Amino acid sequence: MAKPAKTIQEQVQLLKDRGMLFHNIGDAPHFLANISYYRLKGYWWEMQSDKVNHKFHPNHYFEDIIDLYNFDRNFRLIIFNAIERIEIAIRAKLIYHMSLSYGPHWYNETAYFEKYKHHLFFKSKLTRDLASSSEEFIIKHYNNHVTEEPESWKALEILTLGSLSKLYQNLNHQLPEKAEIAKEFGLNNQKYLASWLLSTTYVRNIIAHHGRLWNRVIINKYDWPKSTPYPLLSYIPNQHQRRKIFPLVSAIIYMNNVISPGHHIKTELLDLFEQFPNTPLYKMGFPKNWSSEPIWKI
């Protein structure tokens, strides 16, 4: 049975009735009106002692929820910036290595890919995306070359990280370029890069839709290397640990260390943690000694 909609004041009263405390209850309507009760619910869910009747643990304040929301918002922005570098790098490396070895239209050639049906789907979607693209360089290409497909350095520019990740994953495993690209991300085996890219895409899409990363369960399973050329973690996260964001954020930082040395992602995160010292990082899978892990050392 559908629940009836409630006014902002009714929402405030409902939170009070369920045991939520307020330092300044007069501010609550502003946040509920501009963020929404349902979005904030994801942040106070863990603060409930009775999740059936939605009763809160003692001494939990609405303002703590807003702090947690603001922490998560800033956390997402930092991670999104880190993922942007990865997206640009995988695009550049695919174009460079594959075009030098197999020509500018390699992406159309089935022989370079593992799964025919996956490649057929890729080509079909790319054809539609190119036809509907509003990018000036794509429009100019078709104006000048009506029947000729764009070179890879044009065509791949309109691909999302998700499409790029799947394109890399489906490259023939025997191609030396696939292994070389993985090495340029600091990974000795192509399967780890393919796996990390797909899970990074999952996180990227959560962020793009303004979803919550704090306490998020990562449903995408991904592989973890037994060793890496550069410092990462002192342990191999098990599948349960990989269901939280910490290992994947560590992997994202690791890739950025290789493709974008001198970045400030880790410093920005550490500053954010200092700005919001009461944030329960363990809910994101951060272990007690996380700051001593090789990838996190300053």
pLDDT at 68 (0 to 100) = 97
Q: How confident is the model at residue 51 (pLDDT cuts 50, 70, 90)?
A: confident
Measured at the CA of 131, the angle between CA 123 and CA 98, to 5 degrees, comes to 40
Q: How confident is the model at residue 1 (pLDDT cuts 50, 70, 90)?
A: confident
Query: pLDDT tens-digit profile of 87-146?
Result: 999 999 999 999 999 999 999 999 999 999 999 999 999 999 998 999 899 989 988 888
pLDDT at 236 (0 to 100) = 97
* Least confident stretch, 46-55, 56-65, 68-77, 272-281: 46-55
Residues 6+ apart with CB under 8 A from 286: 246
Other Cβ atoms closer than 10 A to 164: 20
Q: How far apart are the C-alpha atoms of 65 and 57, rounded to whole Å?
A: 13
Mean pLDDT of the region 188-216:
97
- Contact assessment for residue 43 and residue 214, using Cβ atoms and an 8 Å cutoff: yes
Q: Is the pLDDT of residue 3 over 90?
A: no
pLDDT at 117 (0 to 100) = 97
Name the DSSP class of 59. Answer: T
Q: What ranges do the domains of the chain cover?
A: 8-60, 71-296
pLDDT at 2 (0 to 100) = 80
pLDDT at 46 (0 to 100) = 86
In the block, residue with structure tokens 């963020």: 35
- C-alpha dist (Å) from residue 196 to 87, 229, 242, 257: 12, 16, 12, 15
Query: pLDDT tens-digit profile of 8-24?
Result: 999 999 999 999 999 99
pLDDT at 26 (0 to 100) = 97
pLDDT at 54 (0 to 100) = 85
pLDDT at 50 (0 to 100) = 80
pLDDT at 83 (0 to 100) = 99
Q: Which of 268, 264, 270 is nearest to 290 (CA)?
A: 270
Residues 6+ apart with CB under 8 A from 78: 265, 268, 269, 272
End-to-end CA distance of the chain: 53
Q: What is the mean pLDDT of the chain?
A: 96
pLDDT at 150 (0 to 100) = 92
Q: How far apart are the C-alpha atoms of 101 and 275, rounded to whole Å?
A: 49
Q: Is the pLDDT of residue 78 over 80?
A: yes
